[in-house]
Amino acid sequence: MASHRYFDRDIGCMAVKLLPSEYYVTEDNTALTTVLGSCVAACLHDPQAGVAGMNHFMLPADADEQPRSHADAMRYGEYAMDVLLRELLRSGAKRERLHAKVFGGGAVLPTMTTLNIGDRNADFVVQYLREQGIAIAAQDLRGPHARRVCFLPSTGKAVVRKLRTQAGVQMIQRDEQALMHRLVGDAAPTPAARQPASRPA
């Protein structure tokens, strides 16, 4: 769960900043913020129970069936969405009352367009929510821009700002390049074990 708490001067209240692979569920007025490139954040809210949450995932699904730690598994939407939904239900939310707002899935690097990571994340979160019977109240997905999202659990309101400043774009591009390097590393074949040299009989 995200743990970076700070006072957000723009909205005048305490907030929690979510980094990639994190989530947060709250029953108070703490705002939830994150910055997205190709990643996607899902914001779920049950207004009757007064509970809401957000996650931030990097990829839609894990193609590797090997066991992963919780922290590693949270990179993937299929796991991150299950965790967020489970924690909301544990906190008193009802599935049929939940509303979703989803953001991100941008293509801020040319290579990301080739890999379609943002599109795949966007497609995944829409399909997941449809299968769970959770209505999407708002969405801002895909496109060439990075986004800063501020979600206010007390009202269910979300404010999205497209990042166009050089500093903001460069920060996201660094994160996207790190993701690219990680993906390339994960996809690289494992070197074959070195065979001992044969000896003449």
Burial 11-41 (b: 16+ CB within 10 A, else e): eeeebbbbebbbbbbbeeebbbbbbbbbbbb
Of 54, 48, 143, 144, nearest to 102 by C-alpha is 54
Distance CA 175, CA 162 (A): 16
Q: Which of 13, 39, 43, 150 is catalytic?
A: 39
- Which stretches does DSSP call E strand in 9-68? 13-17, 22-26, 31-36, 40-46, 51-56
The single-letter code of the amino acid at 131 is E
CB 49 within 8 A of CB 91: yes
Per the annotation, the verdict on 43 as an active-site residue is no
Q: What is the dihedral of CA 28, 30, 31, 37, to 10 degrees?
A: -100
CA 142 – CA 37 distance, rounded (Å): 9
- Catalytic residue numbers? 39
